[in-house]
Amino acid sequence: MKLAILICAAAVLMTACGQSDNNSGKVTLKQASAEVASIYKSSCIGCHATDLSGKVGEQTNLQLVFERLSYEEIVARITGGGGLMPAFQEKLTEEEINGLAAWLSKQQ
């Protein structure tokens, strides 16, 4: 019985430790699938930076984009652009755009 309690306690502690590396709830490139990370690196990193903090002002910071834009709004922004953001509807497939939006909105 003591062994079972010890194993459960260890499992809880290990889970908690793993969750502490979530960068304060921010979206990170580590959270993206390999495919989505590759798309981000080839199409987005120039303006949004490796850590998603943005290189062209606060509006390019994607770390907490899910707090200000819904999945649908992220899809629309990637697809049609807006402000400084160019449209990617002819550069990325619908599947690629949806993958990026799912990751950025934390719906993956």
Tens digit of each residue's pLDDT (9 = 90 or more) over 49-61: 999 999 998 899 9
Domain that holds residue 99: 24-104
* 8 token code pair: 């459960």
Which SS3 state, helix, strand or coil, does residue 63 take? coil
Summary mean pLDDT of the chain: 83
pLDDT of res. 82? 92
- CATH label of the domain that carries residue 61: 1.10.760.10
pLDDT of res. 24? 72
Report the domain count for the chain: 1
pLDDT confidence bin for 44, thresholds 50/70/90? very high
- On whether residue 79 sits in a domain, the answer given is yes
- On whether residue 76 sits in a domain, the answer given is yes
pLDDT at 93 over 70: yes
User: What sign has the CA pseudo-torsion 67, 69, 72, 76?
Assistant: negative
- On whether residue 62 sits in a domain, the answer given is yes
Dump pLDDT digits (tens) for 23-38. Answer: 579 999 999 999 999 9
- On whether residue 1 sits in a domain, the answer given is no
- On whether residue 16 sits in a domain, the answer given is no
